[in-house]
Amino acid sequence: MGELAADQFASARAPGPVCCLARAGIPLSIKPIRGQIVLLKLPEQVLRRVVYVGRIIFVPRDDGRILVGSTLEDAGFDRHTTASAVRELLDFAIGWSRSWNPPTSKRCWAGLRPASGDGLPYIGGLPEVANAFIAAGHYRSGLVQAPATAVLVAQLMQGSKPRWICTVPPGPGVSHGG
């Protein structure tokens, strides 16, 4: 990528921040969790909305395809798909709705979700580097938390007191140690 120069930096790309910050001597308790996904093609669209069934999500697409995901695997930075995980997702989808049988598998892939040690994202300035900010460790909530996180980081980078902050009390077994 080469050398970058700016007055301030914000790192929000996962799992990239973990590697870059670790090289700069700023360790974070974040690890990648692999999620494998299968994209199915059905003869006609049967869903009109996103459907969650436990940890499995069905995301309908306008053209009749349905995204089925995802696994949760501690596999390091390995983005490969496995036959067993793809089979698990296909079996779940077919078992959930017999009318989908037989769907056509169009594509499968794996992504990495950054999971923090206590389940809460890191958002804020880095004390070790005065002009650096981070937003990482959102795990499975990154997509839905991205707009609020962006507003919060922008406020912090501008030196403003954040206009709002939502906190969620820790659940059983969740630690918020320093």
Q: pLDDT tens digit string along 11-22?
A: 776 655 556 666
pLDDT of residue 174: 42
Instruction: Dump the DSSP string for 101-160.
Output: PSPEEEEEEEEEEEEETTSS-EEEEETTEEEEEEEE-BGGGHHHHHHHHHHHHHHHHTTP
- Express each pLDDT in 23-62 by its tens digit: 666 667 788 899 999 999 887 778 889 998 988 999 998 8
Q: Which domains are present in the chain?
A: 9-28+119-157 (no CATH), 31-115 (3.30.9.10)
Average pLDDT over residues 160-165: 74
| φ, ψ for residue 139, nearest 5 deg | 55, -125
Q: Across-strand partners of 84?
A: none
Q: For residue range 75-96, what is the model confidence (pLDDT) as tens digits? A: 988 999 999 999 999 888 888 8
Number of helices (H) and strands (E), helices first, in the chain? 3, 8
